[in-house]
Each structure stands twice: as structure tokens, then as C-alpha cells.
Amino acid sequence: IESIDFHGLAALRLRVPSGASAVVSAFGAQVLSWTTADGRERLFLSERAVFDGSAPIRGGVPVCFPQFAGLGPLPKHGFARTRTWSESGRSTGKDYAMVSFALEDDAATRRLWPHAFRAEITVNLENNRLDVELGVDNTGDAPLAFTAALHSYLRVTEVEDSYLEGLYGHEYRDAARGDRIVKDTGTRLGFEGETDRVYHGVRRPLLVNAGNLSLGLDQEGFPDVVVWNPWVERCAALADMAPSGWRHLLCVEAAAVRVPVTLAAGEGWSGRQSLVPV
Ligand code: TA6
């Protein structure tokens, strides 16, 4: 584990013996790169991403907390992705490298969200997998509720040639089509236009079929899966995306969206997303 400067941001680079590596910035506690042992970058990071702290970083694994999207009064996707977190632990072993970053409430977070909390992101890199875990503790004396997501931007060669498998039979809320509730009846989900869905109650592992960038995904604690691609027009409207950026990303997010997580005073919760090359 070494400290590096990543586009002007303080970050840590994790390496393991297989040659796999990952970069995590303190800003947002965000994984910004994950290269597998075969030398392939597996995460999408926009070539126009902003790294000066004035905006969330477009790509990698942004942490959405304590609010997913615009589902409440907070800034979109909450404040965790635009705050600088503090390193709270690191360890390495024969075949893993792990770092944690923590964020606690302060005057600025309490102005937006009147709760005492401690959130922690733990990134564990192994020879052939990456695990990202979000832990949240209610450190106050009243209950709190939040929604959250690990908004992973997976790199794909061509999204139009990619498929997502494992969502058959699940219900989803289709945010790209008026928030309709739909039941998925296809064995694999292909991409032919703007896609913005929240799948509920997903307990099976998923497979992103993307040629030599294919990945298995698994999650624990997070009940929902969000699938997002902005496609041509929405991508063009995003200042921090190149016009063709949409082609090379597929967001598959481990999320707690439909039912907010409620924590009594002193209670904790955690959710994890695991990415495994196949
Ligand atoms: O996770 C999907 C989503 O909520 C979409 O609706 C889309 O807006 C995306 O996140 C990106 O949001 P951002 O604020 O990062 O532009």
C-alpha cells in the first residue's frame, strides 16, 4: 500500500502478488481504478472527470450516502461522495491489501442531515477479486434512516455488446420510464437505450457478460441492484463525460433504495459488493 497523487488527489495504491492493483482516494473514499492480474482496467473513469473537489468524481465506485439519487431533500446521492474521508485502517497479508476510510458527522453534515453517524468504507483487494464494504453506525441517541449505494462504474468495451445476467424474475422500478414497476422476464438484460432501474430483493450473484471484461458480482447486506447507462443524449448533457463515454460503462450498483435502512441509537449496518473476474 503506497500513498500516491492521483490527478492531484491524495490516494492510496493497493497491490497484491498477482499483479492486481487498485487506487482509492480519500475524497469520497472512492475506488478510482482496479486493474486485474491480466493488466486490464475494470472500472470506468471518465476522461473528463473533475478531480478538484468541486464535484463528485465521475467513475470508479462513488459512495452514495445517506441518500440515493434525488429520493429526499439532500443533494443528489447525498454528501459522502464530495467529502474527504479519513483513513481508519490498513492491513496487508500474503494475498490481500485492505484499507478503510471513515466519515463522521460534523457541523456541515448535521446542517444537511441532523444525525450522528460514523460511516466506513473498506476496500479489500485480493489476487482475483475486489470487495467494497460500507458500514454505518448510528452514534447518536435517536433513530436514523438512510438510503445508499455503491455506484460502481464497470468498464465494458461496448455496452451494446454487453449483457447482465441474474435478474430474471425480479421486480424493478424503471426510472427511465416514469418509475413504472416492471417484472423482468428476460434471462439476460441487454442494452439498447437509456437504462435506469432499481431491482428489488436481489440475492443471486450476477454476471456482467462483456467479452474480456466480464465480471461476476455478488452483494451482501444491500437488498437492491441499480443498473444505469445514460446512453447518447443524457451522456451529452453531462459536462464531465466525453460524448462517447456512455459506450464504455455499465453501472451495476449494490444499493439499499426501496426500503430505507433504519438504525436505532447505537445500531450498525453493513453492505458489501464483490467483483470477481470470470
Ligand atoms: O444510479 C443511477 C442514477 O441515480 C441515475 O439516475 C443517474 O442520474 C446517475 O445515478 C448518476 O448521477 P450523478 O449525480 O452522478 O450524475
Residue 172's pLDDT is 97
Q: Is the Cβ atom of 228 under 6 angstroms away from ligand 1?
A: yes
Residue 251's pLDDT is 98
pTM reported for the whole predicted model: 0.98
Q: Is the Cβ atom of 172 under 6 angstroms away from ligand 1?
A: no
Q: How far apart are CA 209 and CA 189, in angstroms?
A: 10
Cα–Cα distances (Å) from 207 to 55, 175, 189, in that order, read 31, 22, 10
CA-nearest residue, atom 14 of ligand 1? 76
Q: Is the Cβ atom of 196 under 6 angstroms away from ligand 1?
A: yes
Q: What would the pLDDT profile of 85-100 be if each residue is shown by its tens digit?
A: 999 999 999 999 999 9
ipTM for the complex?
0.98
Q: How far apart are CA 155 and CA 273, in angstroms?
A: 16
Is 170 an active-site residue? no
CA-nearest residue, atom 6 of ligand 1? 196
Q: Which three cell numbers, joined as nine digits, stand for 123?
A: 476496500
Q: Is the Cβ atom of 153 under 6 angstroms away from ligand 1?
A: no
Q: What would the pLDDT profile of 124-169 be if each residue is shown by its tens digit?
A: 999 999 999 999 999 999 999 999 999 999 999 999 999 999 999 9
160-196 core/surface letters (b: 16 or more CB in 10 A; e: else)? eebbbbbbeebebbebbeeeeeeeeeeeebebeebbb
Q: Which three cell numbers, joined as nine digits, stand for 86?
A: 479519513
CA-nearest residue, atom 8 of ligand 1? 69
Q: How far apart are CA 257 and CA 160, in angstroms?
A: 27
Domain topology for 2-277: Beta-galactosidase; Chain A, domain 5 (2.70.98)
Residues 149 and 261: beta-carbon distance below 8 Å: no
Is 151 an active-site residue? yes
Which helix or strand (DSSP H or E) is residue 38 part of?
none
Q: What would the pLDDT profile of 21-43 be if each residue is shown by its tens digit?
A: 999 999 999 999 999 999 999 99
